[in-house]
Amino acid sequence: MLQTIRDTAESIARQAGALLLDYAARGFDVDSKTTSINLVTEADKAAEALITTAIRAAFPDHAITGEEGGGYDEARAAEAPFRWYVDPLDGTTNFAHRLPIYAVNLSVVDADGEPVVGLTYDPSRDECFSVIRGQGATLNGRPIHVSTTADLLGALLTSGFPYDRHTARDNNWAEWGAFLRRAQGVRCTGSAALDMAYVACGRFDGYWERGPQPWDFLAGILMIREAGGQVTTYNGRTDGLYTGHEILASNGLIHQALIEVLEEAQAALRASGS
C-alpha cells in the first residue's frame, strides 16, 4: 500500500511541477497572506487544486490538509487510514521572483500521525526526493544518505527566517550569527522542503528553523531519518516535533554541537533583552 501511495504521490507531484513551470513561463498574479512578505500566487492555488483533486480520485478515503485550502473532507478525517499534507509550492517568494528554487512537497501520515511516505519534487531540476518508512530515502530512484561531516567547523548549514522577522524579537538573527562564526558556511535557500531534502542527501550537514508547518517538514523528517540522520527540536527532544514548528536536523554527527550553539544563541538573546 505504501509503495502505491508513494508512486501516486510522485505522479501527482510531477503534474503539479509541470503546472508550476508553465505558470513560471507565462506569468501569474501575486498576493500576500499573513504579512506583506508572506506571499501566495495563483500558481500555488492552481497546483493545490490539481493535487487535492488527484488525491481524492486515487484515495477517496484519505484525508487531506493543504497549505492554501486548509482541511479537506474533515467530516470523515477521524476515520481516514491516512492523511496527506500538501504544500503545492514551497518557496513561493523564490517563485514570485523567478528564482528557480522551489518544490512540490507531499507527505502522508498514518492514523497515529506518524509520517509514512514523503516526497519533495523540484521541477526546475527534475529532482524527486522520496521516502517510505522502513525502506530508505531516494533521489530519482537512487538511495541517498546524509553526509559524514563530523565537526561543525567543516559543516555547511542552512536555515530560514520567519515571516514576522521585521518585528519579532526572536527572529533567528542570533542563531544565524552564532552559526556563521562557527560553521564552514551558512545558506538560506528559501525552501524548507529542499533544505531538508538536501540534508538527507548530504548536500547540507545541518538545518534549523523555527516556524515551519507540518506540510513543510513532515516529508523531510522521515527522509532524513531514513537517510541516517537525526531530527529533533532545538533542545534535542522528539516529543512535540510534529506540532511544535521547531526543527533541528543534521547528519547526526554534529547534532549535539548544533544544540549547544542554539542554546548559546538563545541565552545571548535573553541576556540582551532586545
pLDDT digits (tens, 9 = 90+) for 59-112: 999 999 987 776 666 666 778 999 999 999 999 999 989 999 999 999 999 999
In this model, does residue 190 exceed pLDDT 70? yes
pLDDT score recorded for residue 74: 67
pLDDT score recorded for residue 167: 45
Question: 273 and 267 in contact (C-beta within 8 Å)?
Answer: no
Q: What value, to the nearest 5°, has the Cα angle with vertex 15 and ends 23 and 59?
A: 135
**CA end-to-end span of the chain, whole Å?**
52
Q: Give the DSSP H/E element, type plus range, for residue 258.
A: helix 255-272
Grid cell in block for residue 220: 523531510
| Confidence class for position 225, pLDDT limits 50, 70, 90 | very high
Question: Which residue is listed with cell 533521489?
Answer: 139
pLDDT score recorded for residue 164: 45
Q: Which residues contact 3 (CB under 8 A, 6 or more apart)?
A: 132
The closest of 243, 26, 46, 223 to 127, measured between CA atoms, is 223
pLDDT tens digits for range 130-168: 999 999 999 999 999 999 999 999 999 999 875 544 444
Domains of the chain (ranges plus CATH)?
2-143 (3.30.540.10), 152-272 (3.40.190.80)
In this model, does residue 40 exceed pLDDT 70? no
| Confidence class for position 170, pLDDT limits 50, 70, 90 | low
pLDDT tens digits for range 61-73: 999 998 777 666 6
Tell me how crowded residue 272 is: count the other CB atoms within 10 A of its CB: 9
